[in-house]
Amino acid sequence: MSTRPSLAQLGLDTGKKARLHRILHQHGLRNGTALFLPYDQGFEHGPRDFFANSAASDPKYVIRLALEGGFNGVVLQVGLAEKFYWDFAGELPLVLKLNGKTDIPGDGEALSPVHASVADAVRLGADAVGYTLYVGTPAQEQDFAQYRQVRADAERLGMPLIVWAYPRGSAIKDKGGKDSFYAVDYAARVASELGADVVKVNFPHPEKQSGAPGEYSTTFSTQEAIDAVVRSANRTMVLVSGGAKAGDEAMIDKARQSMEAGATGLIFGRNVWQRDHDDSLRFVERLREVLAKYDSRP
Amino acid sequence: MSTRPSLAQLGLDTGKKARLHRILHQHGLRNGTALFLPYDQGFEHGPRDFFANSAASDPKYVIRLALEGGFNGVVLQVGLAEKFYWDFAGELPLVLKLNGKTDIPGDGEALSPVHASVADAVRLGADAVGYTLYVGTPAQEQDFAQYRQVRADAERLGMPLIVWAYPRGSAIKDKGGKDSFYAVDYAARVASELGADVVKVNFPHPEKQSGAPGEYSTTFSTQEAIDAVVRSANRTMVLVSGGAKAGDEAMIDKARQSMEAGATGLIFGRNVWQRDHDDSLRFVERLREVLAKYDSRP
Amino acid sequence: MSTRPSLAQLGLDTGKKARLHRILHQHGLRNGTALFLPYDQGFEHGPRDFFANSAASDPKYVIRLALEGGFNGVVLQVGLAEKFYWDFAGELPLVLKLNGKTDIPGDGEALSPVHASVADAVRLGADAVGYTLYVGTPAQEQDFAQYRQVRADAERLGMPLIVWAYPRGSAIKDKGGKDSFYAVDYAARVASELGADVVKVNFPHPEKQSGAPGEYSTTFSTQEAIDAVVRSANRTMVLVSGGAKAGDEAMIDKARQSMEAGATGLIFGRNVWQRDHDDSLRFVERLREVLAKYDSRP
Amino acid sequence: MSTRPSLAQLGLDTGKKARLHRILHQHGLRNGTALFLPYDQGFEHGPRDFFANSAASDPKYVIRLALEGGFNGVVLQVGLAEKFYWDFAGELPLVLKLNGKTDIPGDGEALSPVHASVADAVRLGADAVGYTLYVGTPAQEQDFAQYRQVRADAERLGMPLIVWAYPRGSAIKDKGGKDSFYAVDYAARVASELGADVVKVNFPHPEKQSGAPGEYSTTFSTQEAIDAVVRSANRTMVLVSGGAKAGDEAMIDKARQSMEAGATGLIFGRNVWQRDHDDSLRFVERLREVLAKYDSRP
Amino acid sequence: MSTRPSLAQLGLDTGKKARLHRILHQHGLRNGTALFLPYDQGFEHGPRDFFANSAASDPKYVIRLALEGGFNGVVLQVGLAEKFYWDFAGELPLVLKLNGKTDIPGDGEALSPVHASVADAVRLGADAVGYTLYVGTPAQEQDFAQYRQVRADAERLGMPLIVWAYPRGSAIKDKGGKDSFYAVDYAARVASELGADVVKVNFPHPEKQSGAPGEYSTTFSTQEAIDAVVRSANRTMVLVSGGAKAGDEAMIDKARQSMEAGATGLIFGRNVWQRDHDDSLRFVERLREVLAKYDSRP
């Protein structure tokens, strides 16, 4: 079992440390682990994601769920943050997602355009910002250009930067796909090299090797793979994404392996709110039981 | 019947609330519903739209029609606003449309360039600004970039932002088309996630399913479809567009279903002024009769 | 009887005309006259002004009084506007006062420092801004410098500018005093020469002649004096101030003479709210009866 | 007993509400009351204030005391915040004081120059900023000019603004002095009119009437005086200052009367740390017992 | 004997820590102590300071002396830095002094105007900047205003800021004078509260008590006084100034007491170069022997 580094050991300046302390030690289990509720799927995938549980179409329902479930924060795009966060301001940390895109056009040259600023996040009392970086996309140049501004603003304003490190683009498809061990491992490293404070990754699939560089062609257990990903991220804290809804046991196992590897926490959306209210809370309770075993207080 | 939220429940800051109060409670039926007259078709489609009623080519005629008909506001591009609104300044709310394009080139990579600013709207005494967002277009990046500036300016100056959320581009064509339930529903959601205060949508066609995601492939009534669209928009108020001129009964029915779904109002242009003066007012009177049934005063 | 000019005859640009139309024709008596409630005395004189009616210490009470009394607008400093206007946003026009001072230090070199901007007024949905200009003060240079910025911003943003034209400073004391005919007449003219859209003046006292230039040394009736003041203001609309609380009959008479002279309206604060609620409304009703006689609709 | 307004009723925007929620409901007694530890006396008075307890010269000792005592926040100047807050970042809210002055020159034209910005506060993860406004000073113009910038920045960045409203200057001396009922009442009002979110006042002395306006010349109990001050501040929350060290019973009584009047809390520095460690905590415990009786959770 | 804090314990950001590490651990004795050679007396006092040793009029001579003597840095104004530092660039750390004044006018309202920027220091490869702050001056407002900019630039560019904290002005004269224990102690504290990384102070004279606050009126040894000054500076490192040339033994004793108190080092100019070359180096060698006893490597 790897140990999570304490906030004092991450090379953070005062503002970032203050905000991450609030997220990790004054919300959720208050033990240095994190459970985030992302809620931008209405934008990224469209309202079809709410058909499984139409209540989840209402941002107020979802934010309240995050509060009831004892999450460490909720992730919103600027429009929902402006209209809904006031009601809960300060009760639950807000992560303002600064870019996003619809899934209507294809993903070959994926780019997630910025439509809100770090200053918007400050103005709304957010405790972190989120940025989707499409590692491997042919649109890398524009991606890095807008990322650079976000990173510099986050630096200047002491705002923690969470990078959604998503392998994407045609080349990724040819090298094992977006959730291959190769792709996830590379994405985690890129986020840390580019200055992310926290990186959100998908759980790596070591069996997806077709087209990936030779180093990834031997047999790895999933535990070995996620261990490597956390190691690649070094002082960038790792959040493991739930992705599309799947079986609960598989999810819990993924969570356990991630925490065992030294990840700081989980970011689960559809697996949480694509079911009815009480069932959501029961599932969240199981995730919290996992996190509770990895107390990371200094 | 869904209920329209009151202005106090929408997470609006003071300036936006003041201006929307003026539009919704001091003009039109003064009951919290809205009827807007859009008049940018000479730009978007060209003067051919005035051939059905050449008087409508004259902006003064159309603005006066909006006054006579008891509209809640008239939508103009900056040129017409600068030359014609002075005569009626303050008598009727002005919505300044900040972007627009001709329909001369094709729509595959649709983008509506900005040619006026929120500061122009303030200077002209407008009570809202309008922006056309082409949801699904391959030009998404430029669209979001210019939208971002408009949103931030509207925020800073307390100016309500009405988003014309229009599904467009080749991918939309392949997924059911621009007025499919899927496309309209997604567009309404995107507007709310990106911070629109009001969203203008086309009336959804649930029968257009070819190519759309599976969730939209079962049978929905038009009432179910518009209900879902209003729900997807959450605290962003919904205006349903009239679109091209069609039969009056179909239009009235569309209006009724929209209001029943919880829309805030209607935005009807060609259906109003592509007929002679008195006939226009008779049709408007029928729309007002619908709106009067949905009194939304707190 | 002079006639009030219509808004179309005042050389106003679109935004100023729109906002003044709202104030003069969509609030109060809707007849082109105006009754404003100023509420910055807590700042200018301190809370002692509320000892006569402690309810008036509460901004919510006073703004509600303005609504109940059918005023055309309420005048607030930025702090009260930010905390209280949201509740009433759009129901009653807001005039944001941009400068102010306490009366703790002496008045010899009076200057009213700016502490809010025209952009603040736009952001809060105000329909006009107010600026106190101390005509005759030795601090004239700083006063004109900050005024110049306010005027330019108001111009650029289409925001009507109401100038509190107050004769002040040691030289004024020596030339008849701050409410002499000479001083008030001069102040009205300065406001119009410097670009005020509306000027607030004290009612002139033609009998205070000691030290004033010879032209003001013959006998004038108060009607002649106020006639001259309105004439000096030319296309700048005149509001006559109530000043400290005095006898009702004297106030009504002052109001009547002012309207007879062609003033656009009245701005009465302490005379209104330094008495109990119902008595306030009874007095306001009498003022409205005066204004109703001067219907100024085009 | 007056009731404290809830945060939802104060006209706050999202960021200010989020940050004040953290201060009032996630620290201290978590019941909506506040106890702040100000620690800028080394700057305002010099190190002589630490002679009574030399340990208090060390910022680390004092910040730790604030944590041990369960304070809602500590107030620091930028230098100490930059060097010491990192160690405690996020554990205790930081109020960054933006201006200050030494007491070496006289107070006749008191002005407290700004030496840090609201952006500094954001960067350091502070939850509020503090500004000393010298109400009544002949340097009013410069004071308001720099205050205006601070207010606008705080507005733009959603940062709560705490105004130290201190009557000062020669005119104040002639009208009852800086802690007269008149002066404190006026100062509280000025802070609210100028847009403070929270105002820090000295406890008013109604017996100091010499030179004050007539309204303050009758007999008032201290309870009546502090009641009036809280009323004058309206939606601006009131913190009552401890001032120089005095008898514990008198301090507790002052605290009790303030809370009874509807103040939100206390800001006690020298009375806390000018004694040894354990005695400090015993005294703080007594203050907390007072605050606990005024639970203000919505 | 107090211990000097290590660089890692001072709350420094990366750039400041890197530059101070160079100064303290890669020059001079490389043991964490410092000996600086200030050379701005030609500006502050005029060439008269070079009459005792005319060679010292030549900047090249003095910089070479600093190199030969094993100093940790030399302090220059921008003109000398631009013309002479190139020859020695990188061999010896440069401290660029950003402000200064002649001693031609009197000191009653002392202000040291800024004539170079932190960006100049970066351009010249300096490892720190120096700023003279006149604590207690009636010109406090301008002093803080220009200091604020320097501090913010130093922050942004990771440049260590050394504050010459000099008590000055008429009020200081009345309270014990500029080198009284009271004045020096207060000045050291002000520098730390305002964000100096290093503070240069004069050696305090505890016997100068006339007019100083009562706390300073008992008997203190010079060791107790300098102990208190270092404590007041807390995490701001202290440099003790040599001042005008005096007896060597007195100087060595002052140095020893300062280091014993926990100062980081010495800044001696005239005592060094107002004698011939070899004598200078012999005296410097004695200072280094003192510093060598206070090895502060972590």
Which residues of chain B are within 8 Å of residue C86 when distances are taken between CB atoms? 13-14, 17
**pLDDT value for D297:** 87
- Catalytic (active site) residue B166: yes
**Per DSSP, what are the bridge partners of residue D134?**
D166
Put simply, the chain E residues between 166 and 225 with a CB less than 8 A from any chain D CB are 167, 169, 171-172, 175, 182, 185-186, 188-196, 213, 215-216
> Where would I find the beta strands (DSSP E) of D64-156?
73-76, 94-97, 128-135
**Per DSSP, what are the bridge partners of residue D74?**
D37, D94
Residues of chain B scoring pLDDT < 70? 1-3
Other C-beta atoms lying within 10 Å of the C-beta of residue D67? 15
Which residues of chain E are within 8 Å of residue D85 when distances are taken between CB atoms? 11
* Main-chain phi, psi angles of B101, to 5 degrees: -155, 160
CA-CA distance, B50 to D208, in Å (whole number)? Answer: 78
Which of D15, D26, D90 lies at the smallest CB-CB distance from A19? Answer: D90
Q: Which chains touch E (3 or more CB pairs under 8 A)?
A: D
- Look at residue E260 and tell me whether its pLDDT is greater than 60: yes
Q: How confident is the model at residue C109 (pLDDT cuts 50, 70, 90)?
A: confident
CA-CA distance, E282 to E69, in Å (whole number)? Answer: 9
- Look at residue A1 and tell me whether its pLDDT is greater than 70: no
Residue of B16, B178, B200, B208 marked active site: B200
| N-to-C CA span, chain C | 16
Question: Cβ D145–C113 below 8 Å, yes or no?
Answer: yes
> Where would I find the beta strands (DSSP E) of chain B?
34-38, 73-76, 94-97, 128-135, 161-167, 198-201, 237-241, 265-267
Closest Cα of chain A to D178: distance in Å? 35
Average pLDDT over residues D93-121: 94
Question: Cβ D122–A122 below 8 Å, yes or no?
Answer: yes
CA-CA distance, D127 to D90, in Å (whole number)? Answer: 9
Looking at residue D269, the DSSP 8-state letter turns out to be S
Residue of D178, D200, D208, D254 marked active site: D200
Rg of chain A over Cα atoms, rounded to whole angstroms, equals 18
**Of B254, B287, B251, B242, nearest in space to B69 by CA:** B287
**pLDDT value for C107:** 84
Which of C42, C54, C101 lies at the smallest CB-CB distance from D140? Answer: C101
Residue of B85, B131, B134, B166 marked active site: B166
Helix (H) or strand (E) holding E288: helix E277-292
Question: Cβ D113–E144 below 8 Å, yes or no?
Answer: yes
Which of A21, A122, A158 lies at the smallest CB-CB distance from D91? Answer: A21
Q: How confident is the model at residue E15 (pLDDT cuts 50, 70, 90)?
A: very high
CA-CA distance, B229 to B257, in Å (whole number)? Answer: 12
Q: Which chains touch A (3 or more CB pairs under 8 A)?
A: B, D
Looking at residue C91, the DSSP 8-state letter turns out to be T
Q: How confident is the model at residue E3 (pLDDT cuts 50, 70, 90)?
A: low
Question: Cβ E232–D47 below 8 Å, yes or no?
Answer: yes
- Look at residue D2 and tell me whether its pLDDT is greater than 60: no
- E153-198 per-position pLDDT tens digit: 999 999 999 999 999 998 999 999 999 999 999 999 999 999 999 9
**Of D218, D227, D120, D151, nearest in space to D184 by CA:** D227
Average per-residue pLDDT for chain A: 95
For residue C220, which amino acid is it? Answer: F
- A222 backbone φψ class: left, alpha, beta (φ>0; ψ -120 to 50): alpha
Q: Judge contact between D194 and D145, C-beta under 8 A.
A: no
Which residues of chain A are within 8 Å of residue D122 when distances are taken between CB atoms? 15, 122, 157-158
Which residues of chain A are within 8 Å of residue B153 when distances are taken between CB atoms? none
- Look at residue E145 and tell me whether its pLDDT is greater than 90: yes
Helix axis angle, D277-292 relative to D59-68, nearest 10°?
40
Which of C81, C124, C158 lies at the smallest CB-CB distance from B125? Answer: C158
- Look at residue A13 and tell me whether its pLDDT is greater than 90: yes
Q: Which chains touch B (3 or more CB pairs under 8 A)?
A: A, C
Do E and B count as touching (3 or more CB pairs closer than 8 A)?
Answer: no
Tokens standing for residue C11 = 């050389």
CA-CA distance, C145 to D26, in Å (whole number)? Answer: 46
Q: How confident is the model at residue C298 (pLDDT cuts 50, 70, 90)?
A: confident
**pLDDT value for E106:** 83
Closest Cα of chain C to B296: distance in Å? 16
Question: Cβ D18–A157 below 8 Å, yes or no?
Answer: no
Choice among A52-56, A179-183, C239-243, D275-279 with the minimum mean pLDDT: C239-243
Which residues of chain E are within 8 Å of residue D142 when distances are taken between CB atoms? 141
- A57-111 per-position pLDDT tens digit: 999 999 999 999 999 999 999 999 999 999 999 999 999 999 999 999 888 889 9
Closest Cα of chain A to D132: distance in Å? 23
Q: Is C180 helix (H, G, I), strand (E, B) or coil?
A: strand
CA-CA distance, C251 to C270, in Å (whole number)? Answer: 12
Average pLDDT over residues D72-93: 97
Q: How confident is the model at residue C5 (pLDDT cuts 50, 70, 90)?
A: confident
Chain CA centroid to CA C214, Å: 28
Tokens standing for residue B85 = 């609104």
CA-CA distance, E188 to A23, in Å (whole number)? Answer: 37
Cα atoms in the 13 Å half-sphere on the side-chain side of D253: 7
Q: What percent of chain D has pLDDT over 70?
A: 99
- D121-158 per-position pLDDT tens digit: 999 999 999 999 999 999 999 999 999 999 999 999 99
**pLDDT value for A133:** 97
Q: Residue C135 to residues B186, C112, C155, C161: CA-CA distances in angstroms?
A: 60, 11, 22, 16
Token look-up 């998908």 returns A202
Partner A contacted by B259 (CB < 8 A) = no
Exposure letters E12-39 (e unless 16+ CB within 10 A, then b): beebbbebbebbbbebbbebbbbbbbbb
- Look at residue D1 and tell me whether its pLDDT is greater than 80: no
Q: Judge contact between D192 and C100, C-beta under 8 A.
A: no
Partner B contacted by C14 (CB < 8 A) = yes
Tokens standing for residue C242 = 């109530």
Looking at residue B202, the DSSP 8-state letter turns out to be P
Higher pLDDT, A122 or A243: A122
Average per-residue pLDDT for chain C: 95
- Look at residue D5 and tell me whether its pLDDT is greater than 60: yes
- The complex's ipTM works out to 0.95
Question: Cβ C79–D194 below 8 Å, yes or no?
Answer: yes
Put simply, the chain C residues between 52 and 81 with a CB less than 8 A from any chain D CB are 54, 57-59, 77-80
**Per DSSP, what are the bridge partners of residue B205?**
B180
Closest Cα of chain D to C9: distance in Å? 36
**pLDDT value for E161:** 98
- Look at residue C2 and tell me whether its pLDDT is greater than 80: no
Looking at residue E144, the DSSP 8-state letter turns out to be H
**pLDDT value for A243:** 81
Question: Cβ C48–D216 below 8 Å, yes or no?
Answer: yes
- D159-179 per-position pLDDT tens digit: 999 999 999 998 999 999 999
**Of C41, C44, C87, C37, nearest in space to C62 by CA:** C37
- A131-185 per-position pLDDT tens digit: 999 999 999 999 999 999 999 999 999 999 999 999 999 899 999 999 999 999 9
**pLDDT value for C207:** 95
